[in-house]
Amino acid sequence: MKLKDKILVAFFIMIAMPITMICVAASTIINLQMNSIHETYDVDSDTREVLTTPIQILNRLTRGVYNEIKLAALKTPEKLEDFNYIESLNRDIQNKYSFITVRKNDQFIYSGNTRKLSLISNSLPSFGVYDTDVDGGIYVGGKNPFLVKAQDFFFSDGSEGTIFVITDLNVLVPQIKAVAIQTVISFLLILFFTASILMLWIYRSILRPLNILRIATNQIRKGDLNYSVQFASDDEIGQLCDDFEKMRIRLKELIEDRLKYEEDMKELISNISHDLKTPLTAIKGYAEGLTDGVADTPDKQEKYLKTICAKANDISALVDELAFYAKIDCNTMPYSFSHINLHNYFSDCMEELKLDLEVKNIEVTFQNDVDPSVLVVMDAEQLKRVINNIVGNAVKYLDKKQGRIEIRIVDRDEFVHVSISDNGAGIASQDIPFIFNRFYRADASRNSKKGGSGLGLAISKKVIEDHSGQIWAESELGKGTTITFSLRKVGNGSEPYSSKGELENE
């Protein structure tokens, strides 16, 4: 559920849940207390009455005794002069917050509660002017409210008498008090309960993931990029955790790349210094031989000078290759792509290669299995560099008297595959996966005197990849090697473009 929906739901729960629960609780409390009122005072009352006019209930407490007095005044008034009888009636209502008082003329001759009587004795109605207003009672008192029921009668000596049934309204029936207190307590408990549930819910949906994120952020700040955030939820916070996790993975990759780059740079510098040092040491040695007079004949001196020249050329070639590699590695190589007919391109290539290789007793063959009209997108000059590298290796690592190099072009759907095979020394299977790495030279060639920088195939790989193609090797020690690369045919999408963003047509 989305966070905004959760907040909406929480809002409704906050309102609806306490209201419903309080209604249920209040009605249960009221029903229980109604039963209690009925059992304690033998009074029937309904819920509405309890909540609206609790005085009615107090009024009913004395209804029985009052009716008995009315009956006595009508039929046996002499009974009302009997204090024992009055006393027994008073006892009946004593525990119902009420008492009885008897007035003869203006004198109170009996009172069930003298203290309370003194509070209202002046407010009691005179003989003959009693008019009921609340279910047979009147309300008197003001500051000390009482409910008064009165019955006039004549004493046997002819004096005017009034008997009062007085109920103290200052007290609330304990059950009504209990309803109020229990309702307030349940209201507070329900509010607490609802708030706790919502708090828990909000904690689980917001605070817990935020806490997880905070811990993860701290871990990452300390450099622990393996600390992953695991929090599955489909809301906004869940998405935030997801994004955070993706950010962590990306950051980790970037840092690993950076470390690898630094490692590669160290290796690069050590390889360059090693590869430069070897010819430089030779140059130094031969130059010292010349100056020290070790080369004491013109023949020797010429040989020394030629060696110095050859080593200087090696350094120059290495520096050129390094400069070129640096250029393509930084993607600053300005390619000039165009649509080239492969058949024509390789036919021209073959002319050049044949001239060069026949002198070295190497037979070159070319087989084209692709439609002669097929065009590929390529930078002719850079592709020439790739072919020269591969053919150059074939020549360099040839160990047979009669060398053979075979160039073959085959059609593979959107691509054309170009394979250059030789019958040379071959590459050990454990070396094959690494020969396209920069400065990698298989042990055999490293120990031989073939020279080479270990950059040729790394450069070829980068050039082919910049053409949206791939390059790979198959080889068997002692039998020969085949290097194959793919070039995308024209009109198959994802064509490489020059750094100017334009494709130059042939």
DSSP H helical ranges for 359-434: 380-396
Closer by beta carbon to ligand ADP, 478 or else 491:
478
For the bound state, the minimum distance from the C-beta of residue 425 to ligand ADP, rounded and expressed in Å, comes to 5
Q: What ranges make up the beta strands (E) of 235-361?
A: 338-341
Alpha helices in 106-206 (DSSP H): 114-120, 174-202
> Token digits for 343?
């058949």
Shorter beta-carbon distance to ligand ADP: residue 317 or 490? 317
Which residue, 165 or 386, has its beta carbon nearer to ligand ADP? 386
Which one-letter DSSP state was computed for residue 205?
A: I
CB of 446 to ligand ADP, least distance (A): 7
- Least distance CB 480 / ligand ADP (angstroms): 7
Q: Which is nearer to ligand ADP, 119 or 432 (CB)?
A: 432
Nearest CB to ligand ADP, comparing residues 43 and 442:
442
SS3 track for 321-349 = HHHHHHHHHCCCCCCCCEEEEHHHHHHHH
Whichever of 205 and 423 has its CB closer to ligand ADP, that residue is: 423
Q: What is the per-residue DSSP string for 8-73?
A: HHHHHHHHHHHHHHHHHHHHHHHHHHHHHHHHHH-----HHHHHH-HHHHHHHHTHHHHHHHHHHH
Nearest distance, CB of residue 455 and ligand ADP, angstroms:
6
| Smallest gap from residue 303 Cβ to ligand ADP (A) | 26
Cβ–Cβ < 8 Å for 418, 409: yes
Nearest alpha carbon to residue 181 among 32, 372, 339: 32
Sole residue written with tokens 């708030």: 195
3-state secondary structure of 156: coil
93 vs 391, which CB is nearer to ligand ADP?
A: 391
**Cα pseudo-dihedral 61, 66, 67, 71, rounded to 10:** 160
41/485 with CB nearer ligand ADP = 485
Helix, strand, or coil (residue 204): helix
Site for ligand ADP, rule CB under 6 A: 389, 393-394, 397, 422, 424-427, 435, 440-442, 445, 452-458, 481
Nearer to ligand ADP, 289 or 452 (CB): 452
Within 10 angstroms of residue 465's Cβ, the number of other Cβ atoms is 14
Q: Is 304 helix (H, G, I), strand (E, B) or coil?
A: helix
Question: In the complex with ligand ADP, which residue's Cβ is closer, 163 or 442?
Answer: 442
Q: How far is the CB of 240 from ligand ADP (least distance, A)?
A: 48
* Least Cβ distance, residue 277 to ligand ADP (angstroms): 17
CB closer to ligand ADP out of 372 and 392: 392
CB of 256 to ligand ADP, least distance (A): 25
Report H helices in 53-173.
54-61, 63-75, 83-94, 114-120
Q: For the CB of residue 393, give the shortest distance to ligand ADP in the complex, in Å.
A: 3
Distance CA 506, CA 490 (A): 12
Kindly state the smallest distance separating residue 364's Cβ from ligand ADP, in Å: 14
The DSSP H or E segment spanning 255 is helix 236-291
Q: How far is CA 472 from the centre of its chain?
A: 42
Minimum CB distance to ligand ADP, residue 408 (Å): 15
Dihedral over alpha carbons 176, 179, 184, 185 (to 10 degrees): 130
- Sheet of 362-368: strand order equals 362-368, 403-412, 415-422, 480-488, 471-476
